[in-house]
Structure 1
């Protein structure tokens, strides 16, 4: 997987990496069971502190996206089953409130906003039953 880090972005580097790994899984660019670079290798490739990558990997592990083995390293969770928990829904609603408010204040119409969501969602492969 190729990461695109914007060093001048207001989004912290660790969050950019985390977001791109999750998107990579959703798009099928990262397969279940696929190895990720070691903490030091990814940090070296990007040119950042290894503690930043370690933070990302630990957050992804806590959320169930990856598994970490001392000997074999980090891999996309081969038994990935992240669920739509009440905590996730609550966090999603809070995030959407902020994104929606900013879009509203910047003059984005409801129709434009909904179309962007639909376009983004359509970019992901269909799951069984959809």
Structure 2
């Protein structure tokens, strides 16, 4: 799996890393039970601070996408990632609301917004930028 961090992005580096790992999960490049590199090894491979990798791992652990097991390492949830709960769906909807609102202010139609989301889903699943 290829990780690309954009230093000129407004998105914090730890979130870029976390999001790219999630994209790997979506594409099946990272499967339930797969091991991830240790914080130290991953930071070294990526040329970034260990605290950044640690923060990305803890972000993913908080969402229950990975498990951090002392002295055993980091693994993708071995039983798979469960379907989103109603609470998680509501949280995602709340996070999407400002983007949809901005699109509507810019006079994008509902259909244009739907097409954009479909394109994003396709690009994520196919590993395109």
TM-score, normalised to structure 2, is 0.84
1:75 matched to which residue of 2?
A: 75
| CA RMSD across the alignment | 1.9
Q: Judge conservation of contact 1:65–1:82 (CA < 8 Å) in 2.
A: no
Residue 27 in structure 1 maps to residue 39 in structure 2: no
| 1:1-130 matched pairs, under 5 angstroms | 1-122=1-122, 124=125
The more displaced of 106-115 and 7-16 is 106-115
Q: What secondary structure does 1:75 align onto?
A: strand
The more displaced of 9-18 and 113-122 is 113-122
Structure-2 change in CA distance of 1:43 and 1:106 (3 Å): farther
Q: What secondary structure does 1:3 align onto?
A: coil
Q: Judge conservation of contact 1:65–1:77 (CA < 8 Å) in 2.
A: yes
TM-score, normalised to structure 1, is 0.83
Residue 75 (structure 1) shift: 1.2
